[in-house]
Amino acid sequence: MDDLKNKYLTAINEAGDEATLEDIRLKAVGKKGEVSLKMRELGKMTPEERQVAGPKLNALKDEINAALAAKKVALEDAALDKRLSEEWLDVTLPSRPARQGSIHPISRVSEEIYAIFADLGFAVAEGPQVEDDWHNFDALNIPPHHPARQEHDTFYMHRDEGDDRPPHVLRTHTSPVQIRTLLDQGAPISIIAPGRVYRCDYDQTHTPMFHQVEGLCIGKDVSMANLKWVLEEFFTAFFGTEVKTRFRASHFPFTEPSAEVDIQCKWDNGTVKVGEGDDWLEVLGSGMVHPNVLKAGGIDPDEWQGFAFGIGIDRLAMLKYGIPDLRAFFDSDLRWLKHYGFNPLSVPTLAGGING
């Protein structure tokens, strides 16, 4: 038994790599190894012989296993030392430059929208975010009993007792900009009105503050056909693929006739792909500007006519870049922005692509 011990301990000590060590293990304590075979012979021994040989064989097996484990660790350490001696890192080198900031997806999509509509002949118009009741509701043909004028839908500015000024609200849409621009510039006109808007709502697809862009085109012969062409040109440029639209009759106080617009899409494993398939997804409201709205803007409805539409910028960003929850735009950390944000050097093109 001493010869067996010396044989394998010497072989283990001289092993130069893990493959050789594994071969020794199999020959010594594997299922058909010498030590394992001798342990099987215990059953043929007398009780007295077994009492003497059994502990010696167990001790031999444990000693060989311990030597194998120690040698394996020694070989691993030697391999690591060799690798460390051959590989090196100059820690004095400056780190790779890290991007210091990102363009927020909303800002990025807004710039894409401006570029596309500029190519279609639309100017950008802006207005105040705190609006008086007349510009936000009355001028847009929204009656006093309309649900949008209730406090559960709209943020009203506080008024002290005795303050008789007209009510002011956080604008619920950018439509008041249309009225202000019509009163200031008259017709003909083609504008988009982007900006923040506010409503009392909060869930996966609604937030109390969100971003909207409205379009207005007034002329002598402007029709729903022009509206459809403009929207299809916009969607095709924005999504980078031909996008079909479907108009469904609807009702909005400020347009007549009114239509909700769906775009062609398909659902694939829980994600939506625009411009493919046989499904439809509602994306905006639109219609021909109501005569009462034209009158409020100082425009003669017997001489002029036009279309208007409103799109949620945040939802367009969600569709284009696969962002699942609208609330993530406002309450996510920097890791979210690093994932969805854009290089400040990239610039939107008129086709809605990203360069940079």
pLDDT value of position 221? 94
Q: How far apart are CA 304 and CA 302, in angstroms?
A: 6
pLDDT value of position 343? 64
pLDDT value of position 331? 63
Instruction: Note whether 28 and 35 are within 8 A (CB).
Output: yes
Annotated binding site for Mg(2+): 256
The stretches in the chain having pLDDT less than 50 are 351-356
Which helix (H) or strand (E) segment holds residue 306: the answer is strand 305-312
R_g of the chain, CA atoms, integer Å: 38
Q: What's the token pair of residue 327?
A: 């609330």
pLDDT value of position 346? 59
Identify the CA nearest to 125 among candidates 175, 53, 91, 90. 175
Identify the CA nearest to 311 among candidates 219, 234, 218. 234
Instruction: Note whether 217 and 255 are within 8 A (CB).
Output: no
Instruction: Note whether 288 and 307 are within 8 A (CB).
Output: yes
Instruction: Note whether 133 and 159 are within 8 A (CB).
Output: no
Residue 44, amino acid: K
Within 8 A by CB and 6+ apart from 343, the residues are: 99, 102, 103, 356
Whether residue 188 has a cis bond before it, omega within 30° of 0: yes
Find how far residue 286's CA is from the centre of its chain. 27
Count Cβ atoms within 10 A of the Cβ of residue 355 and give its class: 0-12 exposed, 13-18 middle, 19 or more buried.
exposed
Annotated binding site: 256
Q: What's the token pair of residue 260?
A: 């909700």
pLDDT value of position 356? 37
pTM of the predicted structure, to 2 decimals: 0.66
Token pair 């050789």 in the structure block, residue: 20
Q: How far apart are CA 274 and CA 319, in angstroms?
A: 8
